[in-house]
Amino acid sequence: QSPITNHQSPESASTYATELNNIRVSIQDEMGAIIGLPYEVTIDTMKYQQEIPLDFELRKKVDSIIVAMRYLNSESKLHLYLEPDTRHLSIISAKKYRKGEQMMVQITLQNTSKEMPHASATTEEIAALNELRSIYVSLKDESGTIIAQPYDVVIDVLSYNQTASLEFQLQKDVDEVTVVLQYADVLNDERKVYLQKESSVDIVDISSMQFSQEGYLGASVTYDLALNRLAENEKTFTLRVINLLEQLSFEFIDPESQSRISQVKFTQAKPRRNLSLVVYIPEELDINLLDKAMVFFVAVLDDLEAERYGPDNRMNLTQKEFSELVGGKEQLQLIPRGVPEIELTSTNLGYDIKTGERVEMKATLKNTGTRDLSDIRIIVEPQTDWQEQISPEVVKSLKRQEEREIQILLIPPEKVTPGDYEAKMNAECTVDNRKVEAMEKTIRIHIAAKASLTGSALLVIALVILIAGIAVLSIRLSRR
């Protein structure tokens, strides 16, 4: 920005007018090349002692410029050295802390501009010269995504040396943020800062994305645990499980080393830890506990509090004792489910029949699992053109260890060719959107041709004649 002033003296007013017209101004470098946009600005009229500011955009970076002015049929050039922009915002502090269930960030800014006024400037003029207006502030992560609400905050006016503290709610937990500042003609002033951690009480925050899970008897479930400590010093904490059913065992696992742990250490370089809690469900459990939610807690205690509750990492607390617990804790939930298993068997899976006959068989369906089942479908797949009849085709309900007899009829086609045939037998149902199947069985059938009555009769007659002939011949030989 270059102010143009009409300095024509009053003495020259007798010869020249005190008003100048058609003044053309351009910005050049030391070589005389125009480096300012617009290339030329025309001032139509300029009175005596009048000052008019002009704005140019420099097309190249220089330390000095030449202001070329043409008026009264002459050209005047003024060599100017550019003063650096001394307007500046400083980030005094950046703190991360927890407010209720939300993670918050407080950014404190200070106007540290150092614009030097002229010697006769008043205090008010100095303050006005250095104040910053319409300051926009937002927080981004390393990928450039805004991660705090509000998405941007506007400071209307920030006077010289004045500070302003802004509060943001983090949408994801990070240790560093990029503070984006926009003010005056500074469009994107981005500064990456480390967030200082503050906490009135030294408590480790625990969270689990998979806090509620289901598990089958005889299996295990794994809970992911994200631990975060808002403090800078090094400290060790103890891991505990609270009010978990005694029949269920558990262990804490460090995913990095796959080792079992009972304590966890936090340092300034490592304020976060990711752990796994593995809970083992026994093969047998009281039927009244199945399909019902069990609520328990995981806690992270400092040494003093852990010592007060003893060395065992399993704790059983009353509601009053739990409310007095200071350490960080997270509620978890486990729903034990019985194992769904079915079995379809038959005492005879091999049959020999003749053409024109059919196979009648019995099978036994049994619930061999540890939970009640429903809508079990019996499936029989015979050869092509064979027919099957199943009774019942669907078993509506089958309690644990209960059996049900199934009648199966296999009907071959009328013109079946003698030989060996097979049919497949199975049972299936759906449990928790998962298909459960019995082991498939194979029924083997041998079909023989039916014997002809006429041929059998002729064979018998021929046999009788042969025997009679042998007898007569024997008698005659014996008489001789």
Question: Tokens 């068997």 identify what position?
Answer: 345
Helix H segments across 249-318?
303-308
- 3-state helix, strand, coil split of the chain in percent (to 5) is 10, 50, 35
Mean pLDDT, range 365-372, rounded to an integer: 90
Amino acid 53: pLDDT: 86
Note whether 226 and 329 are same-domain residues.
yes
Assess whether 286 and 271 both reside in one domain. yes
Sequence-distant (6+) residues with CB within 8 A of 82 are 62, 63, 64, 65
What would the mean pLDDT of 202-231 be, rounded to a whole number? Answer: 89
Task: State both tokens at 311.
Answer: 């060395």
* Per-residue confidence (pLDDT) for residue 3, from 0 to 100: 59
Query: Residue 2: pLDDT band by 50, 70, 90 thresholds?
Result: low
Are residues 332 and 366 located together in one domain of the fold?
no
Considering the domain architecture, whether residues 189 and 140 belong to the same structural domain is answered as yes
- The confidence band for 335, taking pLDDT boundaries of 50, 70 and 90, is very high
Judge contact between 180 and 188, C-beta under 8 A.
yes
Condensed to tens digits (0 to 9), the pLDDT of residues 370-414 reads 888 999 999 999 998 999 999 999 999 999 889 999 999 999 998
Reply yes or no on whether the pLDDT at 91 is more than 80: yes
Whether residues 219 and 332 fall in one domain:
yes
Residue range 153-200, pLDDT digits in tens: 999 999 888 999 999 999 988 889 999 999 877 778 899 998 887 765
Whether 456 maps to a domain, the answer reads no
- According to the model, what pLDDT value does residue 221 have? 95
**Does residue 126 surpass a pLDDT of 90?**
no
The secondary structure of 172-220 as a DSSP string is S--SEEEEEEEETTEEEEEEEEEPEE--SS--EEEE-TT-EEEEETT-E
Residues 28 and 55 in one domain: yes
Q: Is 375 left (phi over 0), alpha (psi -120 to 50) or beta?
A: left
Type of residue found at 66: I
Where is the domain boundary, 288, 320, 337? 337
pLDDT tier, 471 (very low <50, low <70, confident <90, very high otherwise): confident
134 lies in a domain? yes
Higher pLDDT, 40 or 9: 40
Residue 468 in any domain: the answer is no
Count structural domains, the chain: 4
What integer pLDDT is reported at residue 446 of this predicted model?
94
Taking the C-alpha atoms of residue 342 and residue 378, their distance in angstroms, rounded to an integer, is 11
Evaluate if residue 278 carries a pLDDT over 70: yes
Is 473 within a domain? no
Q: Are residues 347 and 307 in the same domain?
A: no
Whether the per-residue pLDDT at 250 is higher than 50: the answer is yes
User: Above 80 in pLDDT, residue 35?
Assistant: yes
476 lies in some domain:
no
Domain that holds residue 34: 2-81
Residue 43's CATH number: 2.60.40
CATH number of domain containing 417: 2.60.40.10
Q: Are residues 277 and 393 in the same domain?
A: no
Residues 76 and 96 in one domain: no
Q: What was the pLDDT predicted at 409?
A: 94
pLDDT confidence bin for 116, thresholds 50/70/90: low
Q: What is the pLDDT of residue 284?
A: 86
CATH code at 243?
Answer: 2.60.40.2310
Average pLDDT over residues 117-124: 58
Burial class (CB in 10 A: 0-12, 13-18, 19+), 246: exposed
Domain annotation covers residue 458 = no
Q: Using one digit for the tens of pLDDT, what is the confidence trace for 236-248?
A: 999 999 999 999 9
Is 469 a residue whose pLDDT tops 60? yes
Domain boundary among 337, 372, 398: 337
Separation CA 164–CA 153 (nearest Å): 11
**419, β-bridge pairs:** 447
- Predicted pLDDT at 310: 86
419 and 332 within one domain = no
Mean pLDDT for the chain overall: 86
Domain membership of residue 470 (yes or no) is: no
Domain's final residue, options 47, 81, 115:
81
Kindly state whether residue 465 falls inside one of the protein's structural domains. no
Angle at CA of residue 477, ends 476 and 480, nearest 5°? 90
What's 318's DSSP letter?
A: -
How far is the C-alpha of 72 from the C-alpha of 187, rounded, in Å? 40
Q: Are residues 328 and 364 in the same domain?
A: no
Q: What is the mean pLDDT of residues 138-152?
A: 93
**Looking at the structure, do residues 293 and 363 belong to the same domain, yes or no?**
no
Query: Average pLDDT of 276-305?
Result: 91
> What number is the average pLDDT over the span 22-51?
90
